[in-house]
Amino acid sequence: MPASLNNQLVVAISSRALFDLDESHKVFEEQGLEAYREYQIEREETVLARGDAYNFVEKLLRINELLGEQRVEIILLSRNSADTGLRVFNSVQHYGLAISRAAFCGGQSPYRYVNAFGSHLFLSTHAEDVRQALDKGIAAATLIPSPAAVSHGGELRVAFDGDAVLFSDEAEQVYQQSGLDAFTRNEQSAARLPLSGGPFKGFLSALQQIQMEFAVNECPIRTALVTARSAPAHERVIRTLRAWNIRIDESLFLGGLEKAQFLAAFGADVFFDDQLGHCDPASELVATGHVPHGISNNKS
Protein backbone atom coordinates (compact mmCIF):
# COMPACT_ATOMS: atom_id res chain seq x y z
CA MET A 1 0.00 0.00 0.00
CA PRO A 2 1.49 3.41 -0.97
CA ALA A 3 2.57 5.88 1.70
CA SER A 4 0.19 8.70 2.53
CA LEU A 5 0.50 12.23 3.93
CA ASN A 6 -3.11 12.28 5.10
CA ASN A 7 -3.69 13.77 8.57
CA GLN A 8 -0.38 15.62 8.42
CA LEU A 9 0.37 19.31 8.18
CA VAL A 10 2.36 19.53 4.93
CA VAL A 11 4.64 22.51 4.33
CA ALA A 12 6.53 22.83 1.05
CA ILE A 13 9.59 25.05 1.14
CA SER A 14 12.14 26.11 -1.43
CA SER A 15 15.81 25.43 -0.80
CA ARG A 16 16.58 29.18 -0.91
CA ALA A 17 14.03 29.82 1.86
CA LEU A 18 15.44 27.06 4.06
CA PHE A 19 19.13 27.82 3.48
CA ASP A 20 21.21 30.84 2.53
CA LEU A 21 21.95 30.28 -1.14
CA ASP A 22 22.51 33.94 -2.06
CA GLU A 23 26.18 33.47 -2.92
CA SER A 24 25.41 30.43 -5.07
CA HIS A 25 22.57 32.27 -6.82
CA LYS A 26 24.91 35.15 -7.58
CA VAL A 27 27.24 32.72 -9.36
CA PHE A 28 24.30 31.46 -11.42
CA GLU A 29 23.19 34.98 -12.38
CA GLU A 30 26.66 36.27 -13.24
CA GLN A 31 28.34 33.18 -14.73
CA GLY A 32 25.59 30.87 -15.89
CA LEU A 33 24.31 27.37 -15.23
CA GLU A 34 27.50 25.39 -15.84
CA ALA A 35 29.53 27.60 -13.51
CA TYR A 36 26.82 27.26 -10.90
CA ARG A 37 26.85 23.49 -11.27
CA GLU A 38 30.61 23.34 -10.78
CA TYR A 39 30.41 25.73 -7.83
CA GLN A 40 27.86 23.58 -6.01
CA ILE A 41 29.59 20.27 -6.71
CA GLU A 42 32.93 21.62 -5.50
CA ARG A 43 31.25 22.72 -2.26
CA GLU A 44 28.76 19.92 -1.75
CA GLU A 45 30.41 18.97 1.55
CA THR A 46 30.33 22.60 2.73
CA VAL A 47 27.31 23.16 4.95
CA LEU A 48 24.95 25.95 3.93
CA ALA A 49 24.05 28.62 6.48
CA ARG A 50 20.50 28.75 7.82
CA GLY A 51 17.98 30.69 5.74
CA ASP A 52 15.10 32.94 6.76
CA ALA A 53 12.63 30.08 7.22
CA TYR A 54 15.01 27.71 9.02
CA ASN A 55 13.75 28.43 12.55
CA PHE A 56 10.14 28.05 11.43
CA VAL A 57 10.88 24.65 9.88
CA GLU A 58 12.96 23.42 12.80
CA LYS A 59 10.19 24.23 15.28
CA LEU A 60 7.55 22.61 13.08
CA LEU A 61 9.55 19.39 12.93
CA ARG A 62 9.99 19.44 16.71
CA ILE A 63 6.23 18.92 17.02
CA ASN A 64 6.67 15.36 15.71
CA GLU A 65 9.10 14.64 18.54
CA LEU A 66 6.75 16.07 21.16
CA LEU A 67 3.78 14.04 19.89
CA GLY A 68 5.78 10.90 19.21
CA GLU A 69 4.25 10.58 15.74
CA GLN A 70 4.53 12.13 12.29
CA ARG A 71 2.07 15.06 12.26
CA VAL A 72 4.19 17.52 10.27
CA GLU A 73 5.82 16.85 6.91
CA ILE A 74 8.31 19.26 5.31
CA ILE A 75 8.74 18.93 1.55
CA LEU A 76 11.86 20.42 -0.05
CA LEU A 77 11.23 21.98 -3.48
CA SER A 78 14.10 23.28 -5.56
CA ARG A 79 15.00 24.57 -9.00
CA ASN A 80 18.31 22.71 -8.60
CA SER A 81 18.91 19.40 -10.31
CA ALA A 82 19.43 16.41 -8.04
CA ASP A 83 23.13 16.73 -8.91
CA THR A 84 23.53 20.32 -7.71
CA GLY A 85 20.95 19.75 -4.96
CA LEU A 86 23.16 17.22 -3.19
CA ARG A 87 24.68 20.09 -1.19
CA VAL A 88 21.19 21.02 0.01
CA PHE A 89 20.43 17.50 1.25
CA ASN A 90 23.87 17.25 2.85
CA SER A 91 23.02 20.42 4.78
CA VAL A 92 19.64 18.98 5.79
CA GLN A 93 21.45 15.96 7.23
CA HIS A 94 24.08 18.11 8.95
CA TYR A 95 21.43 20.04 10.87
CA GLY A 96 19.50 16.89 11.70
CA LEU A 97 16.31 18.02 9.98
CA ALA A 98 13.85 15.17 9.42
CA ILE A 99 13.23 15.98 5.75
CA SER A 100 13.13 13.04 3.35
CA ARG A 101 10.87 14.12 0.48
CA ALA A 102 11.97 16.54 -2.22
CA ALA A 103 11.48 17.60 -5.82
CA PHE A 104 14.55 18.86 -7.72
CA CYS A 105 13.30 20.40 -10.95
CA GLY A 106 16.43 21.09 -13.00
CA GLY A 107 15.94 24.81 -13.53
CA GLN A 108 12.16 24.78 -13.87
CA SER A 109 9.60 26.00 -11.38
CA PRO A 110 8.73 23.44 -8.68
CA TYR A 111 5.38 25.04 -7.79
CA ARG A 112 3.46 22.44 -9.83
CA TYR A 113 4.36 19.82 -7.21
CA VAL A 114 2.98 21.86 -4.30
CA ASN A 115 -0.54 20.61 -4.91
CA ALA A 116 0.58 17.06 -5.73
CA PHE A 117 2.14 16.77 -2.26
CA GLY A 118 -1.08 18.06 -0.68
CA SER A 119 0.67 21.07 0.82
CA HIS A 120 -1.10 23.38 3.25
CA LEU A 121 1.62 26.04 2.83
CA PHE A 122 4.32 26.92 0.31
CA LEU A 123 7.23 29.22 1.16
CA SER A 124 9.63 30.42 -1.50
CA THR A 125 11.89 33.32 -2.44
CA HIS A 126 10.55 33.21 -6.00
CA ALA A 127 7.52 35.52 -6.26
CA GLU A 128 6.11 34.05 -9.47
CA ASP A 129 6.09 30.52 -8.04
CA VAL A 130 4.21 31.87 -5.03
CA ARG A 131 1.62 33.62 -7.18
CA GLN A 132 0.96 30.48 -9.17
CA ALA A 133 0.54 28.43 -6.00
CA LEU A 134 -1.93 31.01 -4.67
CA ASP A 135 -3.84 30.78 -7.95
CA LYS A 136 -4.27 27.07 -7.21
CA GLY A 137 -5.80 27.87 -3.83
CA ILE A 138 -2.72 27.05 -1.72
CA ALA A 139 -1.48 29.31 1.06
CA ALA A 140 1.82 30.70 -0.19
CA ALA A 141 4.21 33.53 0.62
CA THR A 142 7.42 35.03 -0.70
CA LEU A 143 10.07 35.13 2.02
CA ILE A 144 11.64 38.57 2.26
CA PRO A 145 15.34 38.58 3.22
CA SER A 146 15.53 39.37 6.92
CA PRO A 147 18.58 40.35 8.98
CA ALA A 148 16.78 39.31 12.17
CA ALA A 149 15.34 35.83 11.57
CA VAL A 150 16.31 34.62 15.04
CA SER A 151 14.74 31.95 17.22
CA HIS A 152 12.75 32.96 20.31
CA GLY A 153 12.82 29.84 22.47
CA GLY A 154 11.23 26.51 21.61
CA GLU A 155 7.65 27.67 21.02
CA LEU A 156 6.54 28.14 17.40
CA ARG A 157 4.97 31.59 17.03
CA VAL A 158 3.11 32.44 13.83
CA ALA A 159 1.51 35.84 13.13
CA PHE A 160 -1.02 36.64 10.42
CA ASP A 161 -2.49 39.78 8.92
CA GLY A 162 -6.26 39.62 8.55
CA ASP A 163 -7.74 40.99 5.32
CA ALA A 164 -6.48 39.23 2.16
CA VAL A 165 -4.52 36.72 4.28
CA LEU A 166 -6.78 34.94 6.80
CA PHE A 167 -9.88 36.60 5.37
CA SER A 168 -10.88 37.52 1.83
CA ASP A 169 -10.10 41.04 0.63
CA GLU A 170 -13.79 42.02 0.36
CA ALA A 171 -13.52 44.58 3.18
CA GLU A 172 -10.13 45.82 1.98
CA GLN A 173 -11.70 46.54 -1.42
CA VAL A 174 -14.21 48.86 0.26
CA TYR A 175 -11.41 50.62 2.13
CA GLN A 176 -9.21 51.16 -0.91
CA GLN A 177 -12.04 52.17 -3.22
CA SER A 178 -14.11 54.33 -0.85
CA GLY A 179 -11.95 55.24 2.15
CA LEU A 180 -11.83 54.61 5.88
CA ASP A 181 -15.26 56.01 6.77
CA ALA A 182 -16.99 53.81 4.20
CA PHE A 183 -14.97 50.81 5.39
CA THR A 184 -15.98 51.43 9.01
CA ARG A 185 -19.66 51.82 8.13
CA ASN A 186 -19.55 48.66 6.02
CA GLU A 187 -17.92 46.60 8.79
CA GLN A 188 -20.39 47.87 11.39
CA SER A 189 -23.39 47.00 9.24
CA ALA A 190 -21.91 43.58 8.37
CA ALA A 191 -20.61 42.82 11.88
CA ARG A 192 -22.63 39.61 12.15
CA LEU A 193 -21.91 38.48 8.58
CA PRO A 194 -18.77 36.29 8.54
CA LEU A 195 -16.05 37.24 6.12
CA SER A 196 -15.13 34.75 3.42
CA GLY A 197 -11.93 32.81 3.92
CA GLY A 198 -8.63 34.06 2.59
CA PRO A 199 -5.70 31.98 1.32
CA PHE A 200 -4.32 31.22 4.82
CA LYS A 201 -7.57 30.07 6.45
CA GLY A 202 -6.78 26.40 5.74
CA PHE A 203 -3.24 26.65 7.08
CA LEU A 204 -4.44 28.30 10.30
CA SER A 205 -7.09 25.60 10.68
CA ALA A 206 -4.48 22.86 10.20
CA LEU A 207 -2.26 24.51 12.82
CA GLN A 208 -5.15 24.58 15.25
CA GLN A 209 -5.82 20.87 14.73
CA ILE A 210 -2.31 20.21 15.98
CA GLN A 211 -2.69 22.69 18.84
CA MET A 212 -5.73 20.74 20.04
CA GLU A 213 -3.58 17.64 20.54
CA PHE A 214 -1.74 19.37 23.39
CA ALA A 215 -2.90 20.52 26.79
CA VAL A 216 -3.42 24.29 26.72
CA ASN A 217 -0.47 25.04 28.99
CA GLU A 218 1.81 22.63 27.08
CA CYS A 219 1.09 23.65 23.47
CA PRO A 220 4.28 24.43 21.48
CA ILE A 221 2.39 26.60 18.96
CA ARG A 222 1.07 30.11 19.50
CA THR A 223 -0.76 32.17 16.87
CA ALA A 224 -1.54 35.87 16.56
CA LEU A 225 -3.72 38.07 14.39
CA VAL A 226 -1.94 41.39 13.81
CA THR A 227 -4.25 43.73 11.93
CA ALA A 228 -4.49 47.43 11.11
CA ARG A 229 -8.20 47.25 12.04
CA SER A 230 -9.48 48.87 15.22
CA ALA A 231 -12.83 49.15 16.98
CA PRO A 232 -15.57 49.11 15.77
CA ALA A 233 -14.24 47.06 12.81
CA HIS A 234 -12.93 44.44 15.24
CA GLU A 235 -16.31 42.79 15.85
CA ARG A 236 -16.70 41.26 12.40
CA VAL A 237 -13.25 39.66 12.68
CA ILE A 238 -14.03 38.13 16.07
CA ARG A 239 -17.39 36.81 14.92
CA THR A 240 -15.86 35.43 11.71
CA LEU A 241 -13.28 33.35 13.61
CA ARG A 242 -16.04 32.19 15.95
CA ALA A 243 -18.19 31.13 12.98
CA TRP A 244 -15.23 29.20 11.54
CA ASN A 245 -14.68 27.54 14.93
CA ILE A 246 -11.07 28.67 14.80
CA ARG A 247 -9.30 29.97 17.88
CA ILE A 248 -6.41 32.38 17.59
CA ASP A 249 -4.29 32.92 20.68
CA GLU A 250 -3.63 36.65 20.46
CA SER A 251 -5.41 39.41 18.51
CA LEU A 252 -3.81 42.83 18.05
CA PHE A 253 -6.07 45.57 16.63
CA LEU A 254 -3.56 48.33 15.91
CA GLY A 255 -5.68 51.00 14.22
CA GLY A 256 -3.04 51.70 11.59
CA LEU A 257 0.02 51.65 13.86
CA GLU A 258 3.24 50.18 12.44
CA LYS A 259 3.26 46.42 13.06
CA ALA A 260 6.97 45.67 13.32
CA GLN A 261 7.52 46.40 17.02
CA PHE A 262 4.41 44.45 17.99
CA LEU A 263 5.61 41.45 15.98
CA ALA A 264 8.96 41.62 17.74
CA ALA A 265 7.19 41.81 21.10
CA PHE A 266 5.13 38.73 20.17
CA GLY A 267 8.34 36.97 19.13
CA ALA A 268 7.05 35.87 15.72
CA ASP A 269 9.00 33.16 13.96
CA VAL A 270 7.20 34.22 10.79
CA PHE A 271 4.63 36.88 9.86
CA PHE A 272 2.36 36.81 6.80
CA ASP A 273 0.94 40.00 5.25
CA ASP A 274 -0.42 40.94 1.83
CA GLN A 275 1.03 44.47 1.72
CA LEU A 276 4.70 45.10 1.02
CA GLY A 277 4.35 48.38 2.91
CA HIS A 278 3.85 46.28 6.05
CA CYS A 279 6.22 43.45 5.11
CA ASP A 280 9.35 45.53 4.49
CA PRO A 281 9.56 47.14 7.96
CA ALA A 282 8.44 43.90 9.64
CA SER A 283 11.26 42.00 7.92
CA GLU A 284 13.80 44.19 9.73
CA LEU A 285 12.75 42.52 12.99
CA VAL A 286 11.14 39.13 12.17
CA ALA A 287 11.04 36.65 9.30
CA THR A 288 8.28 37.87 6.97
CA GLY A 289 6.35 36.37 4.08
CA HIS A 290 4.61 38.55 1.49
CA VAL A 291 1.27 37.10 0.34
CA PRO A 292 0.69 38.54 -3.17
CA HIS A 293 -3.08 38.24 -2.99
CA GLY A 294 -6.03 40.60 -3.16
CA ILE A 295 -6.62 44.17 -4.30
CA SER A 296 -3.34 45.50 -2.89
CA ASN A 297 -1.48 43.24 -5.32
CA ASN A 298 -3.77 43.61 -8.32
CA LYS A 299 -3.18 47.29 -9.06
CA SER A 300 -1.84 48.13 -12.48
Q: Are residues 164 and 231 in the same domain?
A: yes
CB 17 within 8 A of CB 50: no
Which residues does residue 156 pair with via DSSP β-bridges, in sequence order? 221
Question: Which pTM does this prediction carry?
Answer: 0.93
Q: With CA atoms as reference, report the closest residue to 201 among 134, 264, 254, 295.
A: 134
Count, residues in the chain: 300
Q: Are residues 229 and 288 in the same domain?
A: yes
Q: Which domain holds residue 164?
A: 156-294
Q: Are residues 287 and 167 in the same domain?
A: yes
Q: What's the structural domain count of the chain?
A: 2
For residue 163, indicate whether it is catalytic.
no
Q: Are residues 165 and 50 in the same domain?
A: no
Q: Are residues 245 and 197 in the same domain?
A: yes
Q: Are residues 113 and 188 in the same domain?
A: no
- Of 143, 175, 190, the residue that ends a domain is 143
Asked whether residue 209 is domain-assigned, the answer is yes
Asked whether residue 300 is domain-assigned, the answer is no
Asked whether residue 2 is domain-assigned, the answer is no
CATH number of the domain where residue 24 is located: 3.40.50.1000
Q: Are residues 166 and 95 in the same domain?
A: no
Which listed residue (129, 161, 163, 169) is catalytic? Answer: 161
Q: Are residues 161 and 289 in the same domain?
A: yes
- Alpha-carbon gap, residue 248 to 252, rounded angstroms: 11
**Each residue's pLDDT tens digit in the chain (300 positions)?**
466 677 899 999 999 999 998 887 787 777 777 778 888 888 889 999 999 999 999 999 999 999 999 999 999 998 877 877 888 999 999 999 999 999 988 777 888 899 999 999 999 999 999 999 999 999 999 999 887 666 667 899 999 999 999 999 998 899 888 988 898 898 898 899 999 999 999 999 999 999 999 998 899 999 999 999 999 999 999 999 999 999 999 999 999 999 999 999 999 999 999 999 999 999 999 999 999 999 989 864
Asked whether residue 299 is domain-assigned, the answer is no
Asked whether residue 151 is domain-assigned, the answer is no
